[in-house]
Amino acid sequence: MAEEKEILQSNYLAYLNEKRLMGSECKGCGNVDLPPRKICSKCLSTDTAWIDLTDMQGILSTFSCVHVGTRRFEARGFNMKNPYAFGIVTFDNGAAIMGMLEGVDPLQPASIKIGMKMKLKFIETESSCGLQVDVGFEPAENAAEQEIVEEFS
């Protein structure tokens, strides 16, 4: 469905707060940019439009488990003994985005595998400006099964 909103960072974040992950698709070359861009990163065309990536799955391209975070993450209860994971997930269409990883154990980083199939899981936090929704991911169900198979093979 065509989206009328201008491609602006504020609109990207507004969509995110509605739990929609929106990128941009170039009508010229078909490239998908995430976060969205007015100017296509591949062919520089300005004929770009919103594309909804909310239901897409991707693979975990790389990750880290953070034990020393910023004050904002410390305030959320993360610390040396309670780390969080974040990483980059790449979708089939080539677009990639960074997000926190849930449904994985940051204290067992060896169990987190590059190449795992991941799906979006929006992460809600309370900020001084009210509810904030951020990009996050969790293992897709088939990835979990795949891992179990690997473990017992």
Q: Which is nearer to another protein, 99 or 139 (CB)?
A: 99
Q: Which is nearer to another protein, 45 or 132 (CB)?
A: 132
Smallest gap from Cβ 27 to another protein, in A, equals 20
Q: Which is nearer to another protein, 1 or 136 (CB)?
A: 136
Burial class of 104 by CB neighbour count within 10 A (0 to 12, 13 to 18, 19+): buried
Smallest gap from Cβ 4 to another protein, in A, equals 23
Smallest gap from Cβ 73 to another protein, in A, equals 6
Smallest gap from Cβ 63 to another protein, in A, equals 6
Smallest gap from Cβ 93 to another protein, in A, equals 14
Cα 83 to Cα 64: distance, rounded to the nearest angstrom? 10
DSSP string, 45-79: -S-EEEEE-TT-EEEEEEEEEESS--HHHHHTT-B
DSSP, res 109: G
Cα 4 to Cα 47: distance, rounded to the nearest angstrom? 14
Q: Which is nearer to another protein, 2 or 101 (CB)?
A: 101
Cα 27 to Cα 59: distance, rounded to the nearest angstrom? 25
Looking up tokens 């449904």 gives 103
Which parts of this chain interact with another protein (CB under 8 A)?
A: 9, 13, 34-35, 41, 61-74, 80, 83-84, 86-88, 96-100, 106, 109, 114, 123, 134-136
Q: Which is nearer to another protein, 2 or 43 (CB)?
A: 43
